Structure 1
Amino acid sequence: MTWARSTATAPAVTATPVPLRHPRRADGATLVCVFVMCLLILPARLAVAGLPLSLTPAEIVALSLGVVWVCAQMVRTSGVAKGPNPVRTAIFAYGMILLAVYGYATNVYLPSDELNLADHTIVLFAGYVSLALVVCDGIGRRERLDFVLKAVVIGGTFAAVVALMQFRLNFDLTEYLKIPGLRHSSPEEVPTVISRSDLRRVAGTLGHPIEFGALSAMLLPLAAHLGFQARSRGEGAVRWWICAAVIAAGLMFSVSRTAVLGMAGAGLILLIGWSNRRRIATIGAFVVFLGVMKVVAPGLLGTFYNLFAGVGDDSSIIYRTHDYPFAMREFDKSPIFGRGPGTWYPFKHQVFDNQYLLSLVETGLLGVLGFVGVIVCGIVVALRVRATSTDPNARNLGLTIAACLVIPLLGAATFDLLSFPGITSVLFLLIGAAGALLRLERADQADRLLLSSFQEPADRSRSLMAPTGNGHGSARSGSS
């Protein structure tokens, strides 16, 4: 630490040293927050003009993060973490699987349109892997990890506010978010508002209502965690409860069965891990929220009830299940490596509203095992922090991340999750956050162990110097 020198000339005056404030440098958390803002605030259909591939600003930032991570790994003064980490290992394995699948697919003949899509898909996944690595290794303090999660919640709240305006006011703010240098990612207009049962299904700034609903389900536990953490620290928690309420409303306005199923799975994990007091408070808040939704959006709760009550006759459910035999026939053609990532697209082939089926066809068994394995690794690592940490906020964050990662495991069975960059990006961000949390918790435990090893000799020496009460135990007692 550098201290300012006093310029006073009077010898009797002693100036109090004042630490000089150095400007805070940008770190991995800063770069990830830039990515989050580009991902959740800019409309998903806007891509950078003039590029041979259709890439959004967020995707370009993610690829840049990969370059930063590689450069930081080449030096020792960057502050980027090194050493073993199970999340980094899982991400590396998944990346190698995708490269192997891509190499196998491009080694055989592919039509030009499918080859271009395979190139585009592997570039996107390079960005996802880069994002997870920077989050896992580039965040040096727990406060900076909280900073990233706060940015994600704020970005999700903005998307939910846009969805609220789309649902209640029939006003789409994304149509006015036109930025020079950006263009629509596809020549046809992709609607962000879709009708279902006389209601508007909205997508906010995301690409589709299903994606927006599933993403809102992932962000709601994070907003609740920030509220609980702020209250435990004696900080203002109202703003995070407002964010949680807005995100929950956005989940409802998506009118998505996937969002409800995902939220039910995450809620079950949280209720098992929470205390009785927190369970009761959450259930009470849920009942109040449903009452507010009943008043704000008449007919919305009835629509959700009909979505689940009429599952057997729902046309969307029938459409999702009738293509299983066809998918298995395609899978049998190349069961190990698949036909190539991104090569099975809706304008040419039959749509699979199931990511597991789509991955079986595109990336084979290797791709499915890698996809499931990297998510399960994130869940296990987060639960390990939950089990080993002594910090209640870190324990709750580990439980929250595990609950959030359960949602894509469930949602992948109901829609082609990896085809939507928004929720896929947040998925990999949370996997990286699990690795960062484990690393930071290990560092804290090592610091506490080192501190206790220094304190024990000091305590022992103080006990030897302490007076015995008979006047002969020490020099201090003798002098008294």
Structure 2
Amino acid sequence: MTATTASADSAARTRALLEASALPRPHRADGATVGVVFAVVLMIVPARLVYRGLSFAITPAESIGLFALLWWLCAHFTSTLGAAKGRTLVRSAVFVHAASLLATYAYATAGPLPRDEVELADHMLVTAFAMIGVVLLVVDGVRGRDRLDLVLKTVAVMGAVLGVIGAVQFLLKFDPTKYMVLPGLRYTQEELFILERNGLSRVAATTGHPIEFAVMCAMILPIALHFAFQARERGAPALRWWVCAGLIGAGMVFSVSRSAFVGLAGAAVVLLAGWPRMRRLLAAGAVLVFLGAVKLVVPGVLGAIIALFTNISNDSSLRWRTMDYAAATTEIGRHPWLGRGLGTWYAPKYLVFDNQYILTTVETGIIGVLAFAGLFAAGIWSALRARRLLADPASRDLGLTLAACLVVPLIGAATFDLRAYAVITGLSFLLVGAAGALLREARAARAASPGGPAARAGEGGLSRAAAPAPPSTTPPPGPAR
């Protein structure tokens, strides 16, 4: 009997040691997994690559967005896919945006439209719902801070990879995207990802245009800085995140775009308003070191960027942006509420509006542009609301960071036609969903906290549902006769 007991104890100890030394089990696939795959494909596959053999152009990232929409629909018919349920502001804003697009599509196709514009309206509606699927996937499918951090860390790392590609394009005048064509894909345009401006190269990395690349870098930079500061404050290795931030900043500089710096200035206002004094000083020092490095490596870039602002009165691109206001006013007057149709105003058939708000008003009307801007406003409000509800400093800083990130496309949409570019659109919608997911987690944490609603319901040792019934005032029945 004693030997048997000793043998069982020995086996139990061996089992415990093996379990302790085993590698951690991988997390089951969930919404965060799909979000990571979407971020990698969106940013690493060149933006002009689409599937071969389809009747309309669709990118690999957009196909993942359509899968995300299907996943979200299935998740809300079951309870086994791990999706969160319940209304949030971001979800409501997404539904309003989707309803406005459907209303515009119905209005536009009910009247006479040229065949080419009908086909473009069909295509744009499909791609728009792919991006809606991304928002819904993240806001309902990414559960927990560690899973949300995984998605955002992937975005930061991919931004650094694009920074490396942009640096190779700028410094070596070599475009590696020519060799990044995957089987089954084709280029929609054969133009290079390197342009020229005032004698300097403007690079786009894998995105569709240098402006898109620049604004995308300005969006991602606060995320890399968030993880760098958090690692430093925890005493964890932070060099990798500082390197990521430096590469993302270099990509923004090498794109030589005014829109990125305007958007980054808006993000900086949000960050500086919420950062502690020591972090502001550290950030200022990091900026000076970065600018000094750029001055040494590429002396003419900073001067060209400064000239974009000092010579703004003589900038032909700015004059081109303002000369089409009369045509926009006329077209908006014809279809003021629902617009002429999503995707139906396109170059070279019509004038190009280098302003997404004007273009959205022309295509989807006043209702559509309010729904579009409201989506970003809902994301910013959700991030700031989460910051207010959360007690953990790292989570509070993430809320501030996401709000700053979403200010960039909100400003950038006024300087170029943002929705015409797939990478910046996909990233913007992904971050809107991240803000909604953070607010959902903040509310769940607050409800479960000692002073939250769940705790208050259980004060006195019993919840309201489990509380004893009050004593009855009805007299007991008399003896049976």
Give the TM-score normalised by structure 1: 0.91
Give the counterpart of 1:115 among 114, 118, 126. 118
Residues 179-208 of structure 1 show CA distances to partners (whole Å, capped at 9, x for unaligned) of 111111x2x423311101110000001010
Determine if the alignment matches structure 1 residue 178 to structure 2 residue 181: yes
CA RMSD of aligned residues (A): 1.8
Judged with a 3 Å threshold, the aligned counterparts in structure 2 of structure 1 residues 457 and 416 are, in CA distance, closer, same or farther, namely same
Determine if the alignment matches structure 1 residue 64 to structure 2 residue 56: no
Question: What residue in structure 2 maps to residue 99 of structure 1?
Answer: 102
Question: What residue in structure 2 maps to residue 15 of structure 1?
Answer: 12
Give the counterpart of 1:78 among 78, 81, 102. 81
Question: What residue in structure 2 maps to residue 224 of structure 1?
Answer: 225
Determine if the alignment matches structure 1 residue 124 to structure 2 residue 127: yes
Counterpart CA distance in 2 for 1:94 and 1:211 is 23
What amino acid is aligned across from residue 32 of structure 1 in structure 2? G
Q: Classify the secondary structure of the residue corresponding to 1:183.
A: strand
Structure 1 residue 77: Cα displacement: 2.2
Question: What residue in structure 1 maps to residue 338 of structure 2?
Answer: 337
Counterpart CA distance in 2 for 1:323 and 1:381 is 35
Question: What residue in structure 2 maps to residue 35 of structure 1?
Answer: 38
Comparing 14-23 with 413-422, greater Cα deviation is found at 14-23
Q: How does 1:261-300 map to 2 (within 5 A)?
A: 261-300=262-301
Q: How does 1:163-242 map to 2 (within 5 A)?
A: 163-184=166-187, 186=188, 188-242=189-243
Q: Is the 8 A contact 2:258 2:305 kept in 1?
A: yes
Counterpart CA distance in 2 for 1:302 and 1:13 is 73
Judged with a 3 Å threshold, the aligned counterparts in structure 2 of structure 1 residues 234 and 358 are, in CA distance, closer, same or farther, namely same
Q: Give unmatched runs, 5+ long, in structure 2.
A: 462-481
Residues 29-84 of structure 1 show CA distances to partners (whole Å, capped at 9, x for unaligned) of 00111111111111111111111110111111110111111001101122100012
| Identity in percent | 49
Counterpart CA distance in 2 for 1:11 and 1:135 is 47
Residues 115-136 of structure 1 show CA distances to partners (whole Å, capped at 9, x for unaligned) of 1111110001101100000000
Judged with a 3 Å threshold, the aligned counterparts in structure 2 of structure 1 residues 251 and 50 are, in CA distance, closer, same or farther, namely same
Question: What residue in structure 1 maps to residue 479 of structure 2?
Answer: none
What amino acid is aligned across from residue 57 of structure 2 in structure 1? S
What amino acid is aligned across from residue 364 of structure 1 in structure 2? G
Q: How does 1:298-337 map to 2 (within 5 A)?
A: 298-337=299-338
Counterpart CA distance in 2 for 1:391 and 1:347 is 52
Judged with a 3 Å threshold, the aligned counterparts in structure 2 of structure 1 residues 454 and 170 are, in CA distance, closer, same or farther, namely same
Counterpart CA distance in 1 for 2:458 and 2:78 is 34
Question: What residue in structure 2 maps to residue 154 of structure 1?
Answer: 157
Question: What residue in structure 2 maps to residue 52 of structure 1?
Answer: 55
Question: What residue in structure 2 maps to residue 473 of structure 1?
Answer: none
Q: Give unmatched runs, 5+ long, in structure 1.
A: 1-6, 459-480
Counterpart CA distance in 2 for 1:8 and 1:444 is 45
Structure 1 residue 456: Cα displacement: 7.6
Counterpart CA distance in 2 for 1:158 and 1:22 is 28
Q: How does 1:289-438 map to 2 (within 5 A)?
A: 289-438=290-439
The aligned length equals: 450
Give the TM-score normalised by structure 2: 0.90
Q: Classify the secondary structure of the residue corresponding to 1:201.
A: strand
Residues 382-430 of structure 1 show CA distances to partners (whole Å, capped at 9, x for unaligned) of 1111222111111111111111111111111110001111101111111
Counterpart CA distance in 1 for 2:323 and 2:42 is 34
Residues 280-338 of structure 1 show CA distances to partners (whole Å, capped at 9, x for unaligned) of 11011111111111111111111111110111111011110111111101111101111
What amino acid is aligned across from residue 217 of structure 1 in structure 2? A
Question: What residue in structure 2 maps to residue 466 of structure 1?
Answer: none
Q: Is the 8 A contact 2:389 2:446 kept in 1?
A: no
Question: What residue in structure 1 maps to residue 473 of structure 2?
Answer: none
What amino acid is aligned across from residue 211 of structure 1 in structure 2? E
Residues 257-283 of structure 1 show CA distances to partners (whole Å, capped at 9, x for unaligned) of 000100111011101110110001101
Counterpart CA distance in 2 for 1:10 and 1:344 is 79
Q: How does 1:425-464 map to 2 (within 5 A)?
A: 425-449=426-450
Structure 1 residue 9: Cα displacement: 5.7
What amino acid is aligned across from residue 161 of structure 1 in structure 2? V
Q: Classify the secondary structure of the residue corresponding to 1:24.
A: coil
Give the counterpart of 1:88 among 77, 88, 91. 91
Structure 1 residue 234: Cα displacement: 3.0
Judged with a 3 Å threshold, the aligned counterparts in structure 2 of structure 1 residues 13 and 61 are, in CA distance, closer, same or farther, namely closer
Counterpart CA distance in 2 for 1:103 and 1:23 is 46
Structure 1 residue 453: Cα displacement: 6.3
Counterpart CA distance in 2 for 1:278 and 1:431 is 25
Q: How does 1:248-259 map to 2 (within 5 A)?
A: 248-259=249-260
